[in-house]
Structure 1
Amino acid sequence: MAAACGLTAAATMLPLVLGGGSGDGARPGGRPLAQAPPAKAPGAVPAKAETCTDPEASLQPSSADGPTIDRIKKAGHLVVGVDQNSFRWGYRDPATGRLDGFDIALVRAIAKNILGSESKVTYRAIPTNQRIEALQEGKVDIVVRTMTVNCERIKQAAFSTAYFQAGQQVLAPKGSPITGYNDTLKGRKVCTATGSTAYDALKAKSYGAVFADTATAQRTVPNQLDCLVKLQLGLVDAVVTDNALAAGQAAQDPAVDLKGDPFTTEYYGVATKLGNDDLVRRINQVLVDYRKGGNESPWMKAYRRWLAADLKGITGPPAPKYR
């Protein structure tokens, strides 16, 4: 557990850079499957991705340029909102100081396609609850941050096709009486991130868990990894988050593990500002190429490098849906 806390602390050293740009989106001067669906628990609450007709269906792919692509090329770099704290997904490796992970690998592929180099990226670390704001205010061009596509969010941002399938699950200490997303949560202190689909799920059906903020115990946090710290310190009894993220946290701390089965089905997409249709289509073309090649596709190579040790049995990415 001490080692896990050490990695957590090291990963959070990068200062938040959400602000600092002008309101018109001016940039900083420097450059710096078919996947098997997760098992569902009896009585599972459907994820928001299932409460309306295919919110993850996106625009047809295209390699054509457009006004957004032209602006990015003129600037010479892609500004991307990412996580720096999610082990295996988007984290700053304390040994190298380099941002790495499954999401970061996809960012590099997008930058290489648009700008000809995977290094032409300005990374901005943004909290979970500021992803939409960062897009709407023009602070970033895209967000690649384990962001679930759902019916509410497609009103606020434009999304690519799905690049990963996940589900909400409970993380708790190995000796905990909590067995999953069920009545064993009653009266237990549960942590989740504000603005996350986990928070929405608990709000809809909490099983008696105590998860909202109070004057004495903050159980909703801006960054999801803060929940692991609270769990390690004994300030909460469990965490509810995407199983993809929770698997990385369990890999950091052998004293905790995933409980029960995933109780939602969710899809991660690359997000951009509403109206940036040329950028959405270009990213979808990148994803077409990223999925190609079967077991030797860039997607599968990234999966084997970053996720296979903790999320076993995945045979490929979710199939894209178009509208």
Structure 2
Amino acid sequence: MLKKWAKRVALVCSIVLMGTIATGCGSSSSAPTSSGQSGDYLQTIKNRGYLIAGVKNDVPLFGQLKPGAQEAEGFEVDVMKELAKKIFGDASKVKLEKVESKTRIPMLQNGQIDIVAGTTTITEERKKQVDFSDVYFLAGQSLLVKKGSPVKSINDLKGKKVSTAQGSTSAKNIREKAPGAEVLEFPTYTEAFLAVKQGRADAMTTDNSILLGFLQEDTNYELVGGLFTEEPYGFGMQKGHPEWVQYVNDFIKELKANGKYAELYKKWFKQDPPK
């Protein structure tokens, strides 16, 4: 009996020990890390073989997908192609992912894109969520109205409807600057502009650089009220990769130093970049 009992105890101990070892091994092994969690992010991009860049599809001059076109075009799209050229020596090594104002930061955080070039204003609140490059474009918020509109400035917006894009700083700013206005938020800037064209909104507000793109498409509208904010644009990147941020900052400096930035700026905005 004692021998049988001893054998059973030994067998149970052996099973428990094996389970403990297996559990210990399981806990010590690290799960596969995403490209946004550790290591040299630039090397991750190189290993993949292409850059994944988030760009707008609804912002004339910056990133717009026109009917029948295969991909978006604009200033920011061209800059992302130049970044791919710097990394791979080939401007075509970039996958352009559509982003909207409300989706661009979550897509970065989820690792769906490597960088976002989506007319993104650098703010203290956003710095808590993502890392930013140096400023590559300085804009300012303004108002777009139909020619002949009684709205001439933010002081005329009391009781008026103002359209803008969801998740943009423009919505927050206009509520602060014109508390008497009714702010209508739409998924895209195209829809916000359409609301003005259809008479559902009295004015549209966002950065003047974005509004200028819509003016090029329809000369029946104009900008009024001057600039009532400063909107410094930066390229957004997932937090925790200072080497990737530094690489992008060096790229911006290089682009300006070799004249390519001025070339692209003039191509899209028909004027030299500000000093």
**What TM-score comes out, normalization by structure 1 length?**
0.71
Match of 2:8? Answer: none
In structure 1, stretches of 5+ residues that fail to align are 1-22, 27-65, 212-218, 317-323
* 1:206-285 correspondence to structure 2 within 5 Å: 206-211=178-183, 219-285=184-250
* 1:159-178 correspondence to structure 2 within 5 Å: 159-178=132-151
SS of 1:290's equivalent in the other structure is helix
Aligned residue pairs, count: 241
Deviation at 1:93, TM superposition (A): 4.0
Q: CA contact under 8 A between 2:134 and 2:234: conserved in structure 1? A: yes
Q: Which structure features the higher share of helix residues?
A: 2
Instruction: Say whether residues 1:68 and 2:41 are aligned partners.
Output: yes
Instruction: Say whether residues 1:102 and 2:61 are aligned partners.
Output: no
From the superposition, tell whether residues 161 and 112 of structure 1 become closer, same or farther in structure 2 (CA, over 3 Å): same
- 1:88-120, Cα deviation, whole Å (9 max, x unpaired): 111124465342211011101111111221101
* 1:110-259 correspondence to structure 2 within 5 Å: 110-182=83-155, 184-211=156-183, 219-259=184-224
Deviation at 1:275, TM superposition (A): 0.7
SS of 1:149's equivalent in the other structure is coil
Deviation at 1:302, TM superposition (A): 0.7
For 1:151, give the aligned amino acid. E
Q: Distance in 1 between matches of 2:272 and 2:262?
A: 12
**Greater radius of gyration (CA):** 2
Q: Distance in 2 between matches of 1:313 and 1:112?
A: 23
Q: Distance in 2 between matches of 1:261 and 1:166?
A: 12
SS of 1:202's equivalent in the other structure is helix
Instruction: Say whether residues 1:303 and 2:265 are aligned partners.
Output: yes
SS of 1:161's equivalent in the other structure is strand
In structure 2, stretches of 5+ residues that fail to align are 1-32
Q: Distance in 2 between matches of 1:209 and 1:313?
A: 35
Q: Which structure features the higher share of strand residues?
A: 2
State percent identity of aligned pairs.
33
- The CA RMSD over aligned residues, in Å, is 1.8
Q: Distance in 1 between matches of 2:44 and 2:127?
A: 23
